[in-house]
Every structure is written in C-alpha cells, then in structure tokens.
C-alpha cells in the first residue's frame, strides 16, 4: 500500500508540475496540492506549531516583501527535523483563488510580478510543511506586496567614533528612503540587548542628525568598560510614517574595544652612549588582552588594540621633524639627546595617550673623552666652536643653552655649509656690552637623513665657561685653621667653575715660608674644598694661596693669607710651670708675711692691753701703789670693764735692785711648798678692805 502510494505520488505530482500551464517553473501553481505519501486524496489537516507532537514546531516568522524593482521574496524559519520535510508557500487573494510555490527543503521563495500573484492588492500567505503524515502550518499574514519592501542591511563598512560620551555608528545606504533603525549589542558577560536608533531622516530632521547627506545613516549606542559586539538592522517606513516593511537582516558585527583600554606594563632599558654617538633603547611591554564577545575573535575584529610609542627628541627643535611613532616593543638606537617617550593605545576609536616617560641625556662625565672636549674660542663678542667633520653629505645641528637652561639656541648646518677641510665650525655673536660670564652647554648632532628624527647621533656634548675663566674661577674666602703642631687646615669657598661640569680640573694650594727658605704646593680634586698642610716648621710664619685650574688654562692665585705657626708646649710642662709658679707665690707670700711681721714688731712694739693684765711693774719705784682707771676713754682702742691695776716693786733683803716680772703677769698666793717669803701685793686700804671683805655665796 505504502509503496503504491509512493509511486502514485510521483506519477501524479510530476506531470501536474510539468504539463500544466498553471504550474510552470517560477510561477504560482493554481492546482491542488499533491496527495500525501500514503495516497490519500486532498491535503492533510493542518496543525498549528504549538499543537505539533514531540519536538515538531513547524514553520514560523513568515515574511514577504519586495526585494528590488519587480522582484519579491518570502522567507521563514522552521523548527524541527530537516529530514524528508517539504515546504509549500500558500497564497490566496481576491475571488477565492489560491496557489502555491513548492520549496522543498528551502526556506526561501523568490518570484517576480509575472508569477501570477497580485502585488497591488492584498494577499494572504502562509507556509505548510509536510513531514510524514503531519502537515504543519505557520500563521498567515496579509499585506500589499508592492508596499511591503524589505530594506537592505547596512554594509560592512560601519564607522565607529565617540560622540558626547557615547558610541556613534555611521554607514552609507544604497536606497535613499526613510527607514527605522535598531541595534543589538552584547559583551563577553551578557547576551544580546536590543536598542532603538530612532527614525532616520534624509533631510536632517531625525533623531540622529545627518551629517553626510541623504545617503548616510547613524546610530548612538552606549559606551561600555568591556568590549562590545554590535549589529544594525533597518526597516522602511511608509510616507505616512508607519512601518512599511519587514526588518532587514542584521549587519555584520561591529566590534568595539573597552574604554578605557587596559594599559600595558612598559619597561625601558637604556644602554650607554657608544663611540658612534648612539645608544640602545629597549622597550619591553606586557599588554593585557581583554575578553571579547563571541563574534569578535581575531586581531582584525576591531576589539583589540595596538600599543605605540611616540619618540619626541627634545634637543634641536629647529630640525624638520622632531618626533616619530613606532610600535611598542622595538629596540631603537637614539642619540645622546633628551627624549620624551609617550605610550599610545590605538584602537578603532583613535589614539589615546596613556603615560609619558622622560629619557634624560647622559651626563657629560659618562661620554667618551673625545665627545666632551670642546674647542671653543672667543674673539671679542664672537664665540666659535669647532669639531672634526664627518662623512660627506652630513647635516649638523648645534644647540647652545644659556645659563639657567630656560632657552636654547638652535642652528642647522647643511652639507654645503661646512668649514675648512676636515673640520666644521659654528660661531655666534653676542650683543656688545652684554655680560657673558656663566656656564654654557653646547651639543652637536649629526645625521644623513634630516627627515627622520630617530637617525641623529651625538658628535659633541660639553660645557664651557663664558668670560675670563682665570679670574672668574679664583676661589674666594680662604681661611686657615691650626690642625696640629706641624700642620694646618686650609678651606675655601668653591670656585664658580665647579658649577660647569668638566671645566674645573683641580685646585692648587701653595704654601711658602715668609723667609723664602721653603715652599710647596698641594693638588686637590675639583670636588674638594679643604686640604691639610703637613710638615710645617714650628715658630715660622707662612703665606697660603689657592687657585682653580681648567683643562686649558691655570687659574689666578687668591690673595695670600698669612699665619704664624707657634711653638707648641706640652701639657706636662704647663702643669709643672703652674705648680712652680704657685709654690713661688706661696713662698714669697710666706717670707713677706714673716718679714713684715718682724718689721712691725720693731717699728711698732705692742702696748699693754688693760684687759690682758692686772699689773704693770715700773722699775725703780718704791713700794706699791694702786691705780684706779677712771674711764675707758683713756684707751679708745680697747674698752674693758673697770678693774684694778696692780703695780709691784719687789726688794731683796739686802736692798738689791729688784728684778722685774714679765709685763702682764697675774700674781696670786704662793703654792704650797713655795718659798718662805710670801709675795703679796700691797693694795690701798680701801681696796684691801674690799678684797678682805667676805663675798656672798
């Protein structure tokens, strides 16, 4: 049964398509649909997509439109098994007439206005998909084919730029009709997001201002910190402003890098300046590669970036070109000038500077000796510098920087402007009466390609001191300090030549005795301003002077500083001398005191002191008398209490002369066992009575 049905299907279907005039190729067939494979007459009952069993969902999203001129197209989507499926595009219009286009497995049908389908009247279309015993039918659409035109998608050349903090996409279109535009975008971490660009107006009155005439369209999209993939589609509008056609297919993907783009890790390695006047600059970079969406793989997608370096030569600003941009990671050979290295990031959005490194010029002391020695001569107000000539056809650049470094004078010397054979010179004139004293830097560069700023090499780079070097470099304020018994320390202020690198070569210190019997000189490095002079003779007087020498001329001597070198005495001698002086003073003081005491005793003997004695003996007096002191005023030097002074005169039994007692001796009663003769003082009666009277207890 199935086999006969299959054969019947083939026998009936093919003759109808080939023999009937209504089923000719490229036309809509007005015959009935062919039988089912099982041979049953008539079409099978249609099933809607949501009623399909299992995984069958059938055709959907039917869209019919005019492609261009008199050509039309219908397309749809199909979900389900592709094996043994047959699609039919059904079309019905006025008068109940219907026809179909067999499509087989294709999901697109193209036809013209001669296919038998009216394009000026309303037409209803749908798709039937046959799979085995099932017929799946899409939703039907009704439209005027002549008015329902499908727009073309934007071409692949879509330009991207920044505009007011957003991304602006611009493209040209071939059909000069009004259209409505949509975009969709996604990032590495998000799915597609739909956005509206707004209607495009060729007269410039749309949402996006038309800056390229009527053949261009634009769209604004949000900017992201991640890479983006964007696509554009268009839909035509009717003269009334209503949508007049289906959406076009999506354009090719437009990939946009993140903003800002991650900066690379950059390291610059600089080598020494060689004898050819150039040095190696090695650039090492570790660039970060951000994640990109699925449709933006590859280096040419537009989501990646290139890292560049702009090398700007700061010296010789008078050259034709001073900077050049190269790829990051190269090794360059540069002159000894100073450079600025600007790292740039180049994306489809343009160039964006990231960071700047400064490459200084090498110190003059690091250059080879032949590069730092200047042949400078001064004649009045004309200064000249001279150097050895290089190969024929060499262009030179001379840069002269005045003191302070705020301004540099630059001059180019072409191959035809060279000096004498084997040498090149450059001279400049200063204004008369202008003070030229100071430190100047002169650099000479050479190249055979002045148009290429990275091909310069260093010929000379050195300093010279303008003015009278011998006088201007003389050290000032020389001072001398004693250091030890046979040495002194000499100090001076730095010479002005010391601020001019390479000009000052040494200091010379000269010391000579004033008697002319001895003189010597000490050589001091240019970085030192102090020296100790040893081997001097104690007790002599000296003179010291200092001068500053350059590589070409000796300096002028500073004013002489005179100093004596006294004999040094040891501390032990000072101690002994101090002790001897002290003993001498002590001895002289003692002797003087004793001598003065004896002289005073002889010249002024001591008078009796009333308070110290009670009796005074007078030689040759007879008997005893008592003297009453009336008033202390008689002796104003000593004031004593009123008392009795006893004067005693003693006689022997033989009337011999009496022996006087020492002055001031107090007499009392004899001790037991004394002499038989009792010596008792004689007192006046009244005094005697007072003495003998009993005393109160």
Give me the DSSP letters along 597-648: HHHHHHHSPPPPPTTT-SB---TT--S-EEEE---GGGSTT------EEEE-
Residue 243, pLDDT > 50, answer: yes
Average pLDDT estimate for 223-242: 84
Lowest mean pLDDT among 108-112, 194-198, 408-412, 583-587: 583-587
Lowest mean pLDDT among 17-21, 45-49, 693-697: 17-21
Q: Residue 46 has what pLDDT?
A: 46
Residue 512, pLDDT > 80, answer: yes
pLDDT in tens, 530-553: 999 988 888 889 999 999 998 878
Both tokens of 181, joined, read 């535009």
- Per CATH, the number for 470-564 is 2.60.40.10
What does pTM read for this prediction?
0.61
Q: Residue 250 has what pLDDT?
A: 93
pLDDT in tens, 595-619: 777 777 667 666 655 544 444 444 4
Average pLDDT estimate for 325-349: 92
Q: How far, in Å, CA of 546 to CA of 532, rounded?
A: 13
Which ranges in 309-403 belong to alpha helices (H)?
369-372
Confidence of residue 137 (pLDDT cuts 50, 70, 90): very high
For the four alpha carbons of 581, 585, 586 and 588, in that order, the dihedral sign comes to: positive
Average confidence score pLDDT of the chain: 77
Confidence of residue 286 (pLDDT cuts 50, 70, 90): confident
Who wins on pLDDT, 234 or 149? 234
Q: Which residues of 32-59 are buried (b: 16+ CB within 10 A; e: fewer)?
A: ebbbbbeeeeebbebbebeebeeebbbb
Confidence of residue 567 (pLDDT cuts 50, 70, 90): low
Q: Residue 125 has what pLDDT?
A: 94
Q: How far, in Å, CA of 592 to CA of 596, rounded?
A: 6
Average pLDDT estimate for 141-164: 86
Q: Residue 42 has what pLDDT?
A: 42
Confidence of residue 300 (pLDDT cuts 50, 70, 90): confident
**Bond preceding residue 71 cis, omega within 30 of 0:** no
Residue 642, pLDDT > 80, answer: no
Who wins on pLDDT, 138 or 40? 138
Residue 657, pLDDT > 70, answer: no
Average pLDDT estimate for 29-39: 67
Residue 328, pLDDT > 60, answer: yes
Residue 25, pLDDT > 50, answer: yes
Q: Residue 247 has what pLDDT?
A: 86
Q: Residue 352 has what pLDDT?
A: 84
Average pLDDT estimate for 430-434: 65
Q: Give the number of other CB atoms < 10 A from CB of residue 98.
A: 15
What CATH homologous superfamily does 159-256 map to?
A: Immunoglobulins (2.60.40.10)
pLDDT in tens, 89-116: 999 998 889 999 999 999 999 999 999 9
Lowest mean pLDDT among 199-213, 277-291, 476-490: 199-213
Q: Residue 2 has what pLDDT?
A: 35
- Per CATH, the number for 2-144 is 2.60.40.10
Q: Residue 570 has what pLDDT?
A: 57
Q: How far, in Å, CA of 566 to CA of 614, rounded?
A: 71
Q: How far, in Å, CA of 188 to CA of 165, rounded?
A: 21
Q: Residue 31 has what pLDDT?
A: 86
Average pLDDT estimate for 258-277: 90
Who wins on pLDDT, 373 or 528? 528
Confidence of residue 176 (pLDDT cuts 50, 70, 90): low
Q: Give the number of other CB atoms < 10 A from CB of residue 311.
A: 21
Residue 192, pLDDT > 80, answer: yes
Q: Residue 40 has what pLDDT?
A: 40
What residues does each domain of the chain span?
2-144, 159-256, 470-564, 607-652+682-690
**CA geometry: angle at 580 spanning 578 and 585, to 5°?**
95
Residue 638, pLDDT > 60, answer: no
Confidence of residue 6 (pLDDT cuts 50, 70, 90): very low
For 380-528, where are the E strands, in sequence order? Answer: 382-388, 395-401, 408-413, 423-429, 438-447, 457-466, 479-484, 487-491, 504-513, 519-524
**pLDDT above 90 covers what percent of the chain?**
35
Who wins on pLDDT, 367 or 692? 367
Lowest mean pLDDT among 50-54, 77-81, 412-416, 678-682: 678-682
Average pLDDT estimate for 363-376: 86
Alpha-carbon dihedral 139, 140, 145, 149, rounded to 10 degrees: -10
Who wins on pLDDT, 557 or 202? 557
Residue 83, pLDDT > 80, answer: yes
Residue 634, pLDDT > 70, answer: no
The reply to whether domains 2-144 and 470-564 share a CATH topology is yes
Average pLDDT estimate for 401-429: 81
Contacts of 100 (CB under 8 A, 6+ apart): 28, 29, 33, 88, 89, 90, 91, 128
Q: How far, in Å, CA of 60 to CA of 37, rounded?
A: 24
Q: How far, in Å, CA of 123 to CA of 276, rounded?
A: 86
Q: 168: which strand partners?
A: 161, 220
């Amino acid at each position: 049964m199935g086999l006969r049905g299959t054969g019947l299907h083939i026998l009936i279907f093919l003759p109808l398509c080939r023999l009937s005039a209504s089923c000719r190729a490229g036309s809509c067939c007005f015959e009935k649909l062919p039988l089912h494979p099982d041979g049953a007459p008539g079409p099978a009952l249609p099933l809607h997509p949501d009623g399909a069993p299992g995984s069958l969902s059938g055709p959907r999203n039917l869209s019919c439109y005019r492609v261009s001129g008199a050509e039309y197209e219908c397309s749809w989507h199909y979900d389900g098994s592709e094996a043994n499926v047959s699609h039919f595009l059904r079309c019905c219009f006025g008068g109940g007439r219907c026809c179909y286009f067999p499509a087989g497995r294709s999901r697109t049908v193209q036809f013209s206005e001669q296919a038998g389908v009216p394009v000026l009247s309303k037409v209803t279309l749908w798709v039937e998909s046959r799979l085995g015993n099932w017929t799946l039918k899409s939703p039907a659409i009704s439209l005027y084919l002549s008015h329902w035109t499908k727009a073309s998608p934007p071409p692949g050349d879509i330009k991207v730029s920044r505009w007011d903090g957003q991304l602006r996409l611009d493209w040209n279109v071939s059909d000069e009709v009004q259209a409505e535009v949509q975009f969709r975008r996604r990032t590495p971490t998000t799915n597609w997001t739909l956005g509206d660009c707004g209607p495009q107006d060729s007269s410039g009155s749309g949402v996006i201002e038309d800056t390229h005439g009527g053949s261009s369209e634009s769209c604004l999209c949000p900017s992201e910190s991640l890479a983006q993939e964007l696509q554009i589609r268009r839909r035509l509008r009717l003269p009334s402003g209503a949508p007049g056609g289906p959406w076009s297919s999506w354009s090719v993907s437009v990939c946009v890098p993140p903003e800002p783009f991650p900066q690379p890790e950059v390291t610059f390695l600089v080598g020494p300046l060689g004898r050819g006047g150039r040095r190696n600059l090695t650039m090492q970079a570790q660039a970060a590669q951000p994640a990109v969406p699925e449709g933006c793989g590859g280096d040419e997608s537009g989501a990646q970036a290139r890292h560049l370096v702009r090398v700007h030569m700061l010296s010789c600003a008078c050259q034709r070109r001073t900077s050049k941009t190269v790829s990051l990671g190269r090794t360059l050979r540069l002159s000894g000038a100073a450079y600025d290295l600007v790292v740039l990031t180049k994306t489809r959005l343009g160039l964006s500077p990231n960071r700047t490194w400064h490459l200084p010029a090498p110190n003059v002391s690091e250059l080879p000796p032949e590069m730092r020695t200047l042949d400078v001569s001064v004649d009045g107000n004309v200064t000249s510098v001279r150097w050895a000539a290089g190969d024929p056809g060499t262009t030179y650049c001379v840069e002269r920087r005045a003191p302070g470094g705020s301004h540099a004078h630059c001059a180019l010397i072409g191959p035809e402007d060279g000096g004498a054979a084997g040498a090149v010179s450059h001279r400049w004139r200063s204004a008369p009466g202008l003070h030229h004293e100071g430190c100047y830097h002169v650099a000479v560069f050479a190249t055979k390609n002045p148009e290429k700023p990275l091909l310069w090499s260093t010929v000379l780079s050195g300093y010279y001191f303008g003015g009278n070097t011998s006088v201007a470099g003389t050290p000032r304020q020389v001072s001398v300090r004693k250091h030890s018994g046979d040495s002194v320390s000499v100090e001076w202020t730095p010479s002005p030549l010391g601020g001019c690198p390479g000009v000052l070569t040494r200091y010379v210190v000269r010391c000579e005795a004033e008697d002319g019997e001895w003189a010597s000189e000490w050589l001091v490095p240019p970085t030192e301003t102090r020296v100790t002079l040893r081997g001097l003779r104690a007790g002599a007087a000296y003179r010291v002077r200092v001068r500053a020498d350059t590589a070409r001329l000796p300096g002028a001597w500073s004013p002489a500083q005179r100093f004596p070198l006294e004999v040094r005495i040891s501390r032990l001698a000072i101690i002994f001398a101090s002790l001897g002086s002290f003993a001498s003073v002590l001895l002289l003081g003692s002797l003087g005191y004793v001598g003065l005491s004896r002289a005073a005793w002889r010249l002024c003997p001591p008078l009796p002191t009333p308070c110290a004695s009670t009796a005074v003996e007078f030689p040759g007096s007879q008997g005893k008398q008592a003297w009453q002191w009336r008033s202390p005023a008689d002796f104003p030097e000593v004031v004593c209490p009123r008392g009795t002074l006893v004067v005693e005169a003693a006689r022997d039994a033989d009337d011999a002369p009496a022996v006087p007692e020492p002055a001031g001796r107090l007499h009392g009663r004899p001790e037991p066992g004394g002499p038989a003769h009792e010596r008792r003082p004689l007192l006046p009666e009244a005094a005697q009575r007072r003495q003998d009277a009993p005393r109160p207890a």
